Amino acid sequence: MVSAKKIVAVIAAVVVVAAVGAYFGLTALENELKPAPDLDSGLSTTVEFSGRELNEETRTQIVSEVLAGITPYKGIKYDKVNISAIKNGEDHDLTVICFSDACECQDVFDFTYYGAGKQLVQNRYVLEAIPPSERAMAISVALQNEDAANLMRTNSLESVTPTVRRVLPETAEKFYLPKTLLSVTWTRFGANPVVVSVLVDPDEGKAVNVWSNLEVGNKGGEMGKNE
Amino acid sequence: MRKEEAKTKAKALVVLMAFLLGVFSVAAVAGQAAPPQPVLNLGAIVVGLEAGVAGQASSPQLAPEEASEQSEEEQQADYKILQISPKHEWFELKPGGEKEFTVKVKNKDEEAVSTSPRIEVQPFGEYFLEEEWITVEPSSADINADGEQKYTVTVKIPEDAEIGHYSAQVVFTNDTMPTPYPAPFPVYVNSLSLSIQVWEPPKIVVQPRHIHDRVEAGQSQEYEIQFENKGDKAIAISPEIGGKERWGGPFENMIPEDWLTIDASAKVEANSKATVKVTVKVPVDAKGRYEGNINLNIDDPSIERWDQEVHIGLEVWKQPTTPFREGFTVKQGEKVSVVVTAGQHVYDRYGGGVEENEEPSFDVALMLTTPEGGKLTPEPSKTVKTGEISLGMDYLPPWEASSEGMYHAMRTEYSETYEITNATGGVWALEILPRNAERFEYTIEIGE
């Protein structure tokens, strides 16, 4: 005979198990449904297209490919994207300038759209659309690096305004980790140019690499002669 | 008889005196300190010094050579030759952070060596690593001759550790380096030096760190230093004139304190921004380059002492009120063309508080130098802006190689052309009054 107490205990256990299962199931579902941080970033982007000798279908195709191929810096969205296309045989050379109201500078991409394969290839880029606070943080972190600070002091670079550029993960991987980094660079042009650059991990607030064209020159030349 | 007896007594007394004198002389010489012996090897020097001390105390002495031989034997017997790799380890950790690394210890000795790694903290350096922050596994091991043992060193920094530079030694055997003098702390031969920078990302961001501007004498200029506190607690600040940690100083031409006024709140609230206003009032009689620092006194231990400063570099100048003047001769009816040019490197732009139109301009006048000659102030017939653009080669760090081939503005040049056709013959004068230009060039072309 099964007693009433045992039946109650079994029912209570089933309820507890079901409740725990439902809790974990729901929270897991909630996580899956969270939108990606930049999912809505392109929704209010104005796209301006300039380029002759392009039919509507190719133009639509290029805009679609370009918007899929560009990503703004974390936390911002592109408010305007200018695409200018120049026909080069069957292909099109594209200059894409991306503006964000949150940033002073722009991201500039250089693509080629290969007509035969309907393929967009990114050639090069200069990504300077970075929020002022992130830019300031990167400069601050770079200046805290003793090597960089010494190079700047000895080369009188203090008065030079540095450029701050985004380094994409595929490039960053070669120098640190496959993640978005910021490159803070001081350049003095002229007959004897001086360049000092610090690679900054914005998530960690930390300098991860320092480069100077002077050091590159020294490694192969002057230092060796002196030794 | 008595005389002979007296002579014998006198002789005996003299001999006794001589004997006593001899005994005292020997004792006196023996009591003197033996000087340290000049010897070449380390052990001999140590023993030489010890012999001197022993001599003063009238203790039995060792011959220096004998002591030296003993010392060398002892040293050879005491030394265990271990090859430790790495010998020095340095890394950064945040409070609460942990790092593990492997140390290879190879026994280069001819017999087995017993090791029992322990942590030694020597009382110099900024901060000391606590013994319990470091564990070494295994805690002991015997390494055979030519054998190798790997140890795993784990460093755990507590959450409440102060920001700073910490050091300690991982000591594998008790062998110490002999020193020619009493050493306050033993130098362990078979050890690994450990240096750890405990750090935190700065909670406060400051921009700019350098103010570089050109200010006209007799004028005031206001600059803003922006603070952003990303932390969840208010951070006190107390900017004041002074500091020479980062930017050096004292400078040849310091900005006098009475030129500067700092307007700042006492703190930057959590997750908010604040602005510090710095006003520079330059007296009329000032000229040349002036430098100074503002120590921000940010109460945030993650900010290094030398990163607390904002440097101010000012070039004080006076706008010329009288123009530059140059004469030239023109034949009747000739055409005169004057081109005035000023260049500007990208890095020449000044980082002042207010965005200004820095483009150079010129007030140009042309006149015949005769009394009847009038002054002509022609409008420029042509203005040219020339840019120098780099494609990035030679100027880019390796991680910006993807922007090679993109355009980078390097230098901009502004020029204005003034022309007079069918000029009156005679001696003319060209007058140029520059604005927003540190230097300029001119070209005078006469004729077609």
B16 and B42, same domain (yes or no): no
Entry field: residues in chain B: 448
Identify the residue among B400, B408, B438 best suited for mutation to test binding to A, counting A beta carbons within 10 A and taking the highest.
B400
- The nearest CA of chain A is from the CA of B211 a distance in Å of 7
Beta strand B127-128 with B164-171 is parallel
pLDDT of A32: 30
CB of B226 within 8 Å of a chain A CB? The answer is yes
Contact B212 A153 (CB under 8 A): no
Query: Which residues, given as ranges, of chain A have pLDDT below 50?
Result: 1-2, 14, 17-43, 217-227
Contact A140 B247 (CB under 8 A): no
* pLDDT tens-digit readout, A187-216: 887 778 889 999 999 998 899 999 998 865
The rounded distance, in Å, linking the Cα atoms of B21 and B23 is 5
B150 - beta bridge partners?
A: B104
Contact A195 B397 (CB under 8 A): yes
Last residue of a domain, one of B140, B175, B198: B198
Residues of A within 8 A of B347 (CB-CB) are 159-161, 187-189
The rounded distance, in Å, linking the Cα atoms of B268 and B300 is 11
Look up the pTM and report it.
0.52
Query: Which residues, given as ranges, of chain B have pLDDT below 70?
Result: 1-79, 243-252, 305-306, 344-358, 393-394
Q: CA angle, A212 as apex, A210 and A214 as ends, to 5°?
A: 145
Q: Which of B199, B212, B405 sits opposite A159 (nearest CB)?
A: B212
B366 and B290, same domain (yes or no): no
What's the complex ipTM? 0.72
Q: Which of B398, B402, B408 sits opposite A211 (nearest CB)?
A: B398
Q: Cβ distance B222 to B244 under 8 Å? A: no
Q: Classify residue A70 by its DSSP letter.
A: -
B120 and B56, same domain (yes or no): no
Report how far apart, in Å, the C-alpha atoms of A166 and of each of A130, A184, B280, B298, B422 are. Answer: 8, 9, 35, 29, 58
CB of B307 within 8 Å of a chain A CB? The answer is yes
Contact A124 B304 (CB under 8 A): no
Contact A124 B406 (CB under 8 A): yes
Q: Which of A139, A199, A205 sits opposite B209 (nearest CB)?
A: A139
Rounded to the nearest angstrom, the gap between the alpha carbon of residue A196 and the centroid of all alpha carbons in its chain is 21
Task: Classify each residue of B420-435 as buried b or exposed e, where b means 16 or more C-beta atoms within 10 Å of its C-beta.
Answer: beebbeeebbbbbebe
Identify the residue among B245, B271, B403 best suited for mutation to test binding to A, counting A beta carbons within 10 A and taking the highest.
B403
pLDDT of B335: 94
Residue B70: name the closest of B51, B89, B93, B92 by CA.
Answer: B51
The rounded distance, in Å, linking the Cα atoms of A151 and A154 is 5
CB of B177 within 8 Å of a chain A CB? The answer is no
CB of B399 within 8 Å of a chain A CB? The answer is yes
Helix or strand or coil: residue A146?
A: helix
Q: A-B interface: how many C-beta pairs under 8 angstroms?
A: 113
- The nearest CA of chain A is from the CA of B329 a distance in Å of 37
The rounded distance, in Å, linking the Cα atoms of B411 and A189 is 9
B409 and B363, same domain (yes or no): yes
Task: Classify each residue of A26-38 as buried b or exposed e, where b means 16 or more C-beta atoms within 10 Å of its C-beta.
Answer: eeeeeeeeeeeee
Q: What is the 3-state secondary structure (H, E, C) of chain B?
A: CHHHHHHHHHHHHHHHHHHHHHHHHHHHHHHCCCCCCCCCCHHHHHHHHHHHHHHHCCCCCCCHHHHHHHHHHHHHHHCCCEEEECCEEEEEECCCCEEEEEEEEEECCCCCEEECCEEECCCCCCEECCHHHEEEECCCEEECCCCEEEEEEEEECCCCCCCEEEEEEEECCCCECCCCCCCCCCCECCEEEEEEEECCCCCEEEECCEEEEEEECCCEEEEEEEEEECCCCCEECCCEECCCCCCCCCCCCECCHHHEEEECCCEECCCEEEEEEEEEECCCCCCEEEEEEEECCCCCCCCCHHHCEEEEEEEEECCCCCCEEEEEEECCCCCEEEEEEEEEEHHHCCCCCCCCCCCCEEEEEEEECCCCCCEECCCCCEEEEEEEEECCCCCCCHHHHHHCCCCEEEEEEEEEEEEECCCCCEEEEEEEEEECCCCCEEEEEECC
Q: Which sign, positive or negative, has the C-alpha torsion B25, B26, B31, B36?
A: positive
Q: Which of B210, B345, B351 sits opposite A189 (nearest CB)?
A: B345
Q: Cβ distance A129 to A103 under 8 Å? A: yes
CB of A137 within 8 Å of a chain B CB? The answer is yes
- The nearest CA of chain A is from the CA of B187 a distance in Å of 30
Q: Cβ distance A97 to A128 under 8 Å? A: no
Q: Cβ distance B194 to B155 under 8 Å? A: yes
Contact A193 B395 (CB under 8 A): yes
Q: Which residue of B has its CA nearest to A162?
A: B347
CB of A209 within 8 Å of a chain B CB? The answer is yes
Q: Which of A126, A141, A204 sits opposite B403 (nearest CB)?
A: A126
Contact A133 B403 (CB under 8 A): no
B12 and B40, same domain (yes or no): no
B215 and B230, same domain (yes or no): yes
Q: Which residue of A has its CA nearest to B225?
A: A136
B301 and B209, same domain (yes or no): yes
Q: Kindly give, in sequence order, each residue whose CB lies less than 8 Å from that of residue A101, ignoring residues fewer than 6 positions away.
A: A79
Residues of A within 8 A of B199 (CB-CB) are 206
pLDDT of B389: 82
Helix or strand or coil: residue A40?
A: coil
- The nearest CA of chain B is from the CA of A8 a distance in Å of 47
Contact B247 A153 (CB under 8 A): yes
B402 and B360, same domain (yes or no): yes
The rounded distance, in Å, linking the Cα atoms of B220 and B228 is 26
Beta strand B191-198 with B141-143 is unpaired
Rounded to the nearest angstrom, the gap between the alpha carbon of residue A98 and the centroid of all alpha carbons in its chain is 13
Half-sphere exposure of B49 (CA within 13 A, CB side): 9
CB of A139 within 8 Å of a chain B CB? The answer is yes
Helix or strand or coil: residue A14?
A: helix
The rounded distance, in Å, linking the Cα atoms of B32 and B29 is 5
Residue B429's CATH number: 2.60.120
Half-sphere exposure of B376 (CA within 13 A, CB side): 19
- Pair of tokens at residue B180: 């020619």
Domains of chain B: total: 5
B391 and B348, same domain (yes or no): yes
Q: Cβ distance A141 to A200 under 8 Å? A: yes
Q: Which of A139, A165, A190 sits opposite B207 (nearest CB)?
A: A139
Last residue of a domain, one of B293, B317, B341: B317
- The nearest CA of chain B is from the CA of A103 a distance in Å of 16
State the residue range of the domain holding B73: 33-78
Last residue of a domain, one of B179, B198, B217: B198
The rounded distance, in Å, linking the Cα atoms of B415 and B435 is 13
The rounded distance, in Å, linking the Cα atoms of B84 and A134 is 43
B231 and B124, same domain (yes or no): no
Entry field: residues in chain A: 227
B254 - beta bridge partners?
A: B291
Residue B128's CATH number: 2.60.40.10
B299 and B328, same domain (yes or no): no
pLDDT of B21: 52
B71 and B109, same domain (yes or no): no
